[in-house]
Structure 1
Amino acid sequence: MSQTSEANGANGADENADGAQPTINILTQYIKDLSFEAPNAPGILRGQPRGPSINIGVNVGANALNDADGDFDVRLTLNASAGEGADRLFHVELEYGGVFRLQNFPQEHLLPMLFIECPRLLFPFARQVIADVTRNGGFPPLMIDPIDFAKLFQQRMAEEQARQQVQTS
């Protein structure tokens, strides 16, 4: 067993100054808010147009729950609409959360973990909720394509930097 820990150290495994490995645990997952609207049902269900435009919005939020434990509430918000105006087929909103325990991560790694890795872990479950609710609403299940949370995080950080530059000017 000591050979394994020595091998991990020799291979450059991420450890903090105390030698403890960073860990991430999902303590719980939950639906905070779920809304489904099919404003033109049942009439629209009989003559569904082919290929309606589908708009999808994504947002990620995170809050510390108890700094001593390293617990964070991470929420993934997904909005999806099919069709527009009088031809709207459906609109679904989901706020799906998880409580994560992040331990032994360097401070500079916390934000990427909270806004990239945690939502990446939540996404398959939120995607399934959206697919189920649209199917149960009488439509083909909406299978949202995978989301690049790293790209969303980079865009968010760039917007924040631009906002700070405007404020200091």
Structure 2
Amino acid sequence: MTDATPADPSGTPAQPPIAGFRILAQYVRDLSFENPRAPDSLRLEGKPQIDMGVELNATGRPDGLFEVDLKLSIKAATETTPVFHVELLYGGLFQLQGVSEQDIEPMLLIECPRYLFPYAREIVARATSDGGFYPPFMLDPIDFAGIYAARMQQAAQKAGAA
């Protein structure tokens, strides 16, 4: 009995699996689009002010898989009136493989959302387009590594204050 990686039939040692993940499913959990001043909001003069919020959540499941949720909240308004409000909760089911314990959280909160983002972006664009806005609202890329770093810094400050 050895701890060595077994050789493949060609006689070369088998390589350990490369760290990464598999996307098993992607889905919309919740989608809300509000256009409270339609049709007047469709003839908007100038550019509205955009307020965007991003939330990330990852949850382990008993079967060893992980659910990752990307929540986007986008509000557009002029100085005096709301234009539209989109809320999207987009999720994915992931299987991690060969990921060290210390890398699980960054993988779930940085890399997995990076793969979910283009699909969430398309859903937001389609919702605003279907709401009568042209051009549709296109989300700029999101710095998930920056969000994660800010979250870790906030947790460290909270732990230091305790």
**TM-score bracket for this pair, using the shorter chain length:** 0.7 to 0.9
Which residue of the partner structure matches residue 80 of structure 1? 74
Which residue of the partner structure matches residue 20 of structure 1? 17
Distance in 1 (CA, whole Å) between partners of 2:98 and 2:132 is 46
Q: CA deviation at 1:22?
A: 2.0
Q: CA deviation at 1:84?
A: 4.9
Distance in 2 (CA, whole Å) between partners of 1:2 and 1:60 is 44
Which residue of the partner structure matches residue 36 of structure 1? 33
Q: Is the 8 A contact 1:53 1:82 kept in 2?
A: yes
Q: CA deviation at 1:108?
A: 0.4
Distance in 1 (CA, whole Å) between partners of 2:20 and 2:145 is 20
Q: CA deviation at 1:100?
A: 0.3
Q: Is the 8 A contact 2:68 2:93 kept in 1?
A: yes
Which residue of the partner structure matches residue 160 of structure 2? 165
Q: Which runs of 5+ in 1 are unaligned?
A: 10-18
Which residue of the partner structure matches residue 56 of structure 2? 60
Distance in 2 (CA, whole Å) between partners of 1:65 and 1:20 is 22
**Match of residue 148, structure 1, among 143, 149, 159:** 143
Residue identity over aligned pairs, in percent, reads 42
Greater fraction of residues in helix: 1
Q: Is the 8 A contact 2:33 2:86 kept in 1?
A: yes
Which residue of the partner structure matches residue 48 of structure 1? 44
Query: Normalised by the size of structure 2, how large is the TM-score?
Result: 0.87
Instruction: Give the length in aligned residue pairs.
Output: 153
Q: CA deviation at 1:103?
A: 1.7
Distance in 2 (CA, whole Å) between partners of 1:24 and 1:36 is 32
Distance in 2 (CA, whole Å) between partners of 1:73 and 1:105 is 16
Runs (4+) of structure 1 exceeding 6 A deviation are none
Q: Is the 8 A contact 2:47 2:78 kept in 1?
A: no
Are residues 103 and 54 of structure 1, via their aligned partners in 2, closer, same or farther at CA, if it must alter by over 3 Å? same
Secondary structure of the 1:160 match is helix
Are residues 2 and 90 of structure 1, via their aligned partners in 2, closer, same or farther at CA, if it must alter by over 3 Å? farther
Distance in 2 (CA, whole Å) between partners of 1:84 and 1:94 is 22
Which residue of the partner structure matches residue 16 of structure 1? none
Q: Is the 8 A contact 1:64 1:71 kept in 2?
A: yes
**Match of residue 104, structure 2, among 103, 110, 114:** 110
Alpha-carbon deviations, 1:33-65, whole Å to 9, x = none? 1011111112222x3121111111111100001
Q: Aligned letter for 1:116? A: I
Distance in 1 (CA, whole Å) between partners of 2:109 and 2:22 is 15
Query: Normalised by the size of structure 1, how large is the TM-score?
Result: 0.83
Matches within 5 A, 1:85-104: 86-104=80-98
Secondary structure of the 1:117 match is helix
CA RMSD of aligned residues (A): 1.9
Secondary structure of the 2:44 match is coil
